[in-house]
Structure 1
């Protein structure tokens, strides 16, 4: 298996150090940078790599870094976002722009490792993407018309309250349908559900 690098971009030194310790402890090759500009100025030459970046940083913010990497490296450098300032619309926007995962601080170290391993595995084989698309499409076909409406609204980044207004149902009813959608789609998080929507080309 190819030894891919993981690059950590965060202005918080304690966060950088803890992530490096976590990744290197699992035998993953990792380097850290204190800012987006520092990272871009010393942009490594690796053809494939995984990037973990914070969103709010002095100077260039994480969202701009993500845009730059999309142009410079595209899908060969998947990006994982970690942030203490999360909201659903932003998470959906970032997922649509190519971010593979959106993780809120404080986070479980195993959650980071799971996401990083997923990125590295994806770099090893793109064939799994076709299988994931087919599986997601099959699960999507099991949704009822109302569940599909809720699914589409979630993929569009709407909150439960907004969905309730659009569909003329109560927020509590939206929660029930949302739970059913997550269960049928076998999604354990909103980011996973959005990724499924993008995978099958429905978002």
Structure 2
């Protein structure tokens, strides 16, 4: 880690991610841990620092957009081992590895494990800040997508089994007459079910409904008769 860049170009120092963002730091070197925390706070980011992987695993982590700046070599559980543990716990925090002893196999293992970046000391402050901004934005977008899918799933679960069957057939491209034949119902009944589906799902058009089907895992094929 070097001194901060004095370049006049507009960088992450002026581009704090929108909304709250949190950076977790794990480094057993007290001076490095303090230096990293000060750097992130200087651009308006919140920081929680730990001296070991075990400390983080035992902590109650805030449920906000975040990333983890993680030293590879740590006492006890190593950075790479922590990456594996977080994956097992389904804690998908974007990880930026930092190390003074990096090698190709280590880098490959970290990146295959889903790391956002792997920085070898000494690195520029700006380089680390770029990685942190990108990682927190990535986590924010993931959270937004998951929230939207959860909302869709909640709406889908308000549909009756028959309405769900109609939605699946509508989004598969079948016309009301075809759906009526598929389900053994009158066409006017299908029109009523279709209107109820549109209302409950909050769809303004057929295109809206089709876009909703994909994240719900609804595939364009005909289900068996409900």
The two structures have a TM-score, normalised by structure 1, of 0.58
User: 1:105-143 CA deviation, whole Å, 9 max, x = no partner?
Assistant: 1111111100000111212335xxxxxxxxxxxxxxxxx
Q: What's the counterpart of residue 194 of structure 1?
A: none
The answer to whether the 8 Å contact 2:20/2:65 transfers is: no
CA contact (8 A) 1:95 1:101 kept: yes
Q: Please say if 1:104 is aligned against 2:120.
A: yes
What is the CA–CA distance in structure 1 between the aligned matches of 2:96 and 2:124, rounded to whole Å? 14
8 A contact 2:72–2:99 mirrored in 1:
yes
CA distance in 2, matches of 1:72, 1:109: 31
SS in 2 for 1:30: strand
Matched, 1:51 2:78: no
For 2:33 and 2:86, locate their aligned partners in 1 and report how far apart those are by CA, in whole Å: 20
Equivalent position of 1:67 in the other structure? 84
| Alignment RMSD | 1.4
Is 1:87 aligned with 2:103?
yes
Per the alignment, residue 161 of structure 1 pairs with none
Higher Rg of the two aligned structures: 2
Q: Distance in 2 between matches of 1:33 and 1:52?
A: 10
Alpha-carbon offset, residue 45 of structure 1: 3.4
Structure 1: distance between partners of 2:76 and 2:30: 16
Q: Is the 8 A contact 2:22 2:64 kept in 1?
A: no
Segments of 5+ residues of structure 2 without an aligned counterpart are 1-17, 143-226
Structure 1 runs (4+) deviating above 4 angstroms are none
SS across alignment from 1:27: coil
Query: SS of the residue aligned with 2:73?
Result: coil
* Aligned equivalents of 2:90, 2:128: Cα separation in 1: 22
1:7 and 1:42, CA in 2 relative to 1: closer, same or farther beyond 3 A?
same
- The aligned counterpart of 2:39 is 22
Q: What is aligned with 1:114? A: 130
Whether the aligned pair in 2 keeps the contact of 1:2 and 1:124 (CA below 8 Å) is no
Q: Within 1, Cα distance between the matches of 2:57 and 2:91?
A: 14
Structure 1 stretches of 5 or more lacking a match? 127-203
> 1:28-47 counterparts in 2 under 5 A?
28-47=45-64
Q: Which residue of 2 aligns with 1:164?
A: none
Higher helix share: 1
CA distance in 2 between partners of 1:46 and 1:66 (Å): 18
